[in-house]
């Protein structure tokens, strides 16, 4: 080891620094733990790195502070703030930043917003998630005012929290000070009434001191909002007020069945895209709180909308229960540039919509038809004429069988295939072997109850190099440990493996996955996410195999916590950067939401980084770091 370090010492420091600046933060810190030469170099380069991205783990303030010394070159900062609070503001917010992305800011107060406006005046892009959601934290309208007024160069703003907490009578006045360069705005939750008042041209005309209001958000091209109700008034105001809009994404989640004045009707659809600029349109009624639909929209509404939407490239319609084949077919034949089609809860959508799709000029690459229960194999046969398909989501289309798989097997570019709840068999999966399995990145077979252990052989037996990284085998009553043993023998380097609600999966599966070899030598596979929630055979023995050194890259784990509470707590203590979910919640966001493009992960190898963060001598390093920072130096 000494001779290796000696040879490293002879490398020119400029060469080492140049190489390390090409790496991400996790890799830099991993290298720093391997030799004194790399450690010394890492101390230096953190003072001039242009970007610092660390979203795979949520570091504490004590761990993160030494990694963010004074750095006039830092332009982009992305951090998971799940373990941070207002005390981290001082070292997070740098005046040089142009791109700031802070996830999981629940323990911050509204002071975070005001300090960003004060300290980061050159920001171009800002993402803030879950601000002040922790009990006892609060955001005041003055905090938002300082943010919008201070960041006068903002071009993209994403506020992923509930902004309806702000007082409505001050809300519009505050947004009048927002950057005139703002082209993209996304808000986690806002009431439709507030949106309407914000964008109304006669806003504030009742105030004698300001009879004529300037245009609010004049440059907006992309608007994404989660609201309480999508209404005619809101849609009309958006269409008239935002004349440069090209991307409109609206989703609501009603708590009660909406009245006509708080709903979307045919008249509201007719107001969309009056200037014909829209390229991307998404209108979705979520059933998060109530099973409800857009009951006041029918085929006529889509016919009226289609007249002005010829330039649409992607469309997402969710919850239009009264629209039939006539309406959906109008969209397909009117929007000749369409490449992305997404329909959810299309209760009257049938195979007839697609029977002549090969005669159109459409080149679809993304198709999602989730919970369209009337679709059969014939629809998939027609869709398969689009050989450029990359994403095909047919979840909960329960009438699909092996004939559909045969058609899907002719799609050589397919990257994501979701077949949850379909009526396919082990034999049918053989159709994917010749052309499709080698190109797939994500495959979901959740709830395909006819599948058995033989589905693993059908998919992977004899296959060599695969790109498949995400596999969902949840809710398969006939999948057992034998199937997982076959999966482990395939040595496919999965990133995500979901097997929740499989009663025959037990300790043997965990041991097999923990022991599988990747790259000839590495144990525990490359799994970042493993979901074993409510698997019938998991006992205390399995938890011993979930500890390090097994599963070294694991970041998300789903288990049943009630019966194994002590073991779950012990595991969480031994692996503080592992997110353990034990209440049945799905791990992460919906991994197959492809509304904004092909879903992929940008995973970092952070196992060595964790080891570095958890080294026993870190306290000594921090003391050294503090002394050197006083001399304008920095260390890792």
pLDDT tens digits along 3-60: 555 566 667 777 777 777 777 787 777 777 777 777 778 877 888 899 999 988 899 9
DSSP secondary structure of 237-251: HHHHH-TT--EEEEE
Q: Which residue has the higher pLDDT, 130 or 172?
A: 130
Residue 626's CB is within 10 A of a number of other CB atoms, namely 12
Beta strands in 121-232 (DSSP E): 125-129, 156-162, 184-190, 222-227
Quote the CA–CA distance of 584 and 402 in Å, as a whole number: 31
List Cα–Cα distances, 440 to 342, 410, 437, 608, in angstroms: 20, 13, 5, 29
How do strand 76-80 and strand 579-581 relate by DSSP bridges?
unpaired
The whole-number pLDDT of residue 525 equals 66
Please give the average per-residue pLDDT across 129-151, as a whole number: 91
pLDDT at 201: 63
Residue 95 has pLDDT above 90, yes or no: yes
In the DSSP assignment, the letter for residue 429 is G
Which segments of 159-230 does DSSP mark as H helices, in order? 168-175, 192-199
Strands (E), 255-395: 280-285, 314-318, 340-344, 366-370, 391-393
pLDDT of residue 608: 45
Q: What is the pLDDT of residue 604?
A: 38
Residue 480 DSSP code: B
User: CB within 8 A of 367, min separation 6: which ones?
Assistant: 340, 341, 342, 383, 386, 389, 391, 392, 393
What is the rounded distance in angstroms from the CA atom of residue 530 to the CA atom of residue 516? Answer: 14
Secondary structure element (H or E) that encloses residue 78, with its range:
strand 76-80
Q: How far apart are CA 412 and CA 82, in angstroms?
A: 41
pLDDT for the residue 210: 47
The residue-averaged pLDDT of 561-584 equals 82
Q: With left for phi above 0 and alpha for psi between -120 and 50, is residue 632 left, alpha or beta?
A: left
Q: Are strands 314-318 and 442-444 parallel, antiparallel or unpaired?
A: unpaired
- pLDDT tens by residue, 374-422: 999 999 999 999 999 999 999 999 999 999 999 999 999 999 999 999 9
Residue with tokens 């309480």: 228
Q: Which residue has the higher pLDDT, 603 or 196?
A: 196
CA distance 493 to 519: 9
What residues form DSSP beta bridges with 416?
Answer: 391, 442
- DSSP, res 500: T
Record the pTM: 0.87
- The set of residues, in sequence order, having a beta carbon less than 8 Å from that of 406 and lying 6+ positions away, is 428, 431
Instruction: State pLDDT tens for residues 291-320.
Output: 999 999 999 999 999 988 889 999 999 999
In the 3-class helix/strand/coil scheme, how is 289-318 assigned residue by residue? CCCCCCCCCCHHHHHHHHCCCCCCCEEEEE
- What's the pLDDT at 338? 95
Tell which wins on pLDDT, 247 or 569.
247
Residue 562's pLDDT is what? Answer: 65
Q: Is the pLDDT at 214 greater than 60, yes or no?
A: no
| Nearest-angstrom CA–CA distance, 449 and 49 | 51
Residue 500 near residue 558, CB atoms below 8 Å:
yes
> Could you tell me how many residues make up the chain?
636
- Characterize the bridge pairing of strands 522-523 and 579-581: unpaired
Is residue 134 helix, strand or coil? coil
Query: 566 versus 589: which is more confidently predicted?
Result: 566
Phi, psi for 80 (deg, rounded to 5): -85, 115
Task: Report phi then psi at 543, rounded to 5.
Answer: -65, -25
pLDDT at 176 over 50: yes
At residue 249, φ and ψ (nearest 5 deg) are -130, 110
What pLDDT band is residue 523 in, cutting at 50, 70 and 90? low
- Does residue 134 have a pLDDT over 60? yes
Cα dihedral sign for 56, 62, 63, 64? Answer: positive
DSSP 203: T
The percentage of the chain sitting over the pLDDT mark of 90, rounded to a whole number, equals 63
As a dihedral over the C-alpha atoms of residue 305, residue 214, residue 182, residue 98, rounded to 10 degrees, the angle is: -170
**pLDDT tens digit string along 426-459?**
999 999 998 899 999 999 999 999 999 999 999 9
Mean predicted confidence (pLDDT) in 203-211: 46
Q: Percent of the chain scored above 70 by pLDDT?
A: 86
pLDDT at 369 over 90: yes
Q: Mapping DSSP to helix (H, G, I), strand (E, B) and coil, where does residue 611 land?
A: helix
Predicted local distance difference test score (pLDDT) of residue 582:
87
What is the pLDDT averaged over residues 523-549?
86
Per-residue pLDDT tens digits for 477-517: 999 999 999 999 888 899 999 999 999 999 999 999 998 86
Average pLDDT, integer, range 321-349: 95
Q: Is the pLDDT of residue 70 over 50?
A: yes
Q: How confident is the model at residue 204 (pLDDT cuts 50, 70, 90)?
A: very low
Dihedral over Cα of 137, 100, 526, 34: its sign: negative
When pLDDT is averaged across residues 328-353 and rounded to a whole number, the result is: 95
The per-residue pLDDT of the chain, averaged, comes to 86
pLDDT at residue 344 is higher than 50: yes
Lowest mean per-residue pLDDT among 150-154, 313-317, 486-490, 522-526: 522-526
In this predicted structure, the answer to whether residue 630 has a pLDDT above a threshold of 70 is no
Tokens 């809101």, located at residue: 234
Taking residues 114-123, what's their average pLDDT? Answer: 97
pLDDT value of residue 429? 97
């Amino acid at each position: 080891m000494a001779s290796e370090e000696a040879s490293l010492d002879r490398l020119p420091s400029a060469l080492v620094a140049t190489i390390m600046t090409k790496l991400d933060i996790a890799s830099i810190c991993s290298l720093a733990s391997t030799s004194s030469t790399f450690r010394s170099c890492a101390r230096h380069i953190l003072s001039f790195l242009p970007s610092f991205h660390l979203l795979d783990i949520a570091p504490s303030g004590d761990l993160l502070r030494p990694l963010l010394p004074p750095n006039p070159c830092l332009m982009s900062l992305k951090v998971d703030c799940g373990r941070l609070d207002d005390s981290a503001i001082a070292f997070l917010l740098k005046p040089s930043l142009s791109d700031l992305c802070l996830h999981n800011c629940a323990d911050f107060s509204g002071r975070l917003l005001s300090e960003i406006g004060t300290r980061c005046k050159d920001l171009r892009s800002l993402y803030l998630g879950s601000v002040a959601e922790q009990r006892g934290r609060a955001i005041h309208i003055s905090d938002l005012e300082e943010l919008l007024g201070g960041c006068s160069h903002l071009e993209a703003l994403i506020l992923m929290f509930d902004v309806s907490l702000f007082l409505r009578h001050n809300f519009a006045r505050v947004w009048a000070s927002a950057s005139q360069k703002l082209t993209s705005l996304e808000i986690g939750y806002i009431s439709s009434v507030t949106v309407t008042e914000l964008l109304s041209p006669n806003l504030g005309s009742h105030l004698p001191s300001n009879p004529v209001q300037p245009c609010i958000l004049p440059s907006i091209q992309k608007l994404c909002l989660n609201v309480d109700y999508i209404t005619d008034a809101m849609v009309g105001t958006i269409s008239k007020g935002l004349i440069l809009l090209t991307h409109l994404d609206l989703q609501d989640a009603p708590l009660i069945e909406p009245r006509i004045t708080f709903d979307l009707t045919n008249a509201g659809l007719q107001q969309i895209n009056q200037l014909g600029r829209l390229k991307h349109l998404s209108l979705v009624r979520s059933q998060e709180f109530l099973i409800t639909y857009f009951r006041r929209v029918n085929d006529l509404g889509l016919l009226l909308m289609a007249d002005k939407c010829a330039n649409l490239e992607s469309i997402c319609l969710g919850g239009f229960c009264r629209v039939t084949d006539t309406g959906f077919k109008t969209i397909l034949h009117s929007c000749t540039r369409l490449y992305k089609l997404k329909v959810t809860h299309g209760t009257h959508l049938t195979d007839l919509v697609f029977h002549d799709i090969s005669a159109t000029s459409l080149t679809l690459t993304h198709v999602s038809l989730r919970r369209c229960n009337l679709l059969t194999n014939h629809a998939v046969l027609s869709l398969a004429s689009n050989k450029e398909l990359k994403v095909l989501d047919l979840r909960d289309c329960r009438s699909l069988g092996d004939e559909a798989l045969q058609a899907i097997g002719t799609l050589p570019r397919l990257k994501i295939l979701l077949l949850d709840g379909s009526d396919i068999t082990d034999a049918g999966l053989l159709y994917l072997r010749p052309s499709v399995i080698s190109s797939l990145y994500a495959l979901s077979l959740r709830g395909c109850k006819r599948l058995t252990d033989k589905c693993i052989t059908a998919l992977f037996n004899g296959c060599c190099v695969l790109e498949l990284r995400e596999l969902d085998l949840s809710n398969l009553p006939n999948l057992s440990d034998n199937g997982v043993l076959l999966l482990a023998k395939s040595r496919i380097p999965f990133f995500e493996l979901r097997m929740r609600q499989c009663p025959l999966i037990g300790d043997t599966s965990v041991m097999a996955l923990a022991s599988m070899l990747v790259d000839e030598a590495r144990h525990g596979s490359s799994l970042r996410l493993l979901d074993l929630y409510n698997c019938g055979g998991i006992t205390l023995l399995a938890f011993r195999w979930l500890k390090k050194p097994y599963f070294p890259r694991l970041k998300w784990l789903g288990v049943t916590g009630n019966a194994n509470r002590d073991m779950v707590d012990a595991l969480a203590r031994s692996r503080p950067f592992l997110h353990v979910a034990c209440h049945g919640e799905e791990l992460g966001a919906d991994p197959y939401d492809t509304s904004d493009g092909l879903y992929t992960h940008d995973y970092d190898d952070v196992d060595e980084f964790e080891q570095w963060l958890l080294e026993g001598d870190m306290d000594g390093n921090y003391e050294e770091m503090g002394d050197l920072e006083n001399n304008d130096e920095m260390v890792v």
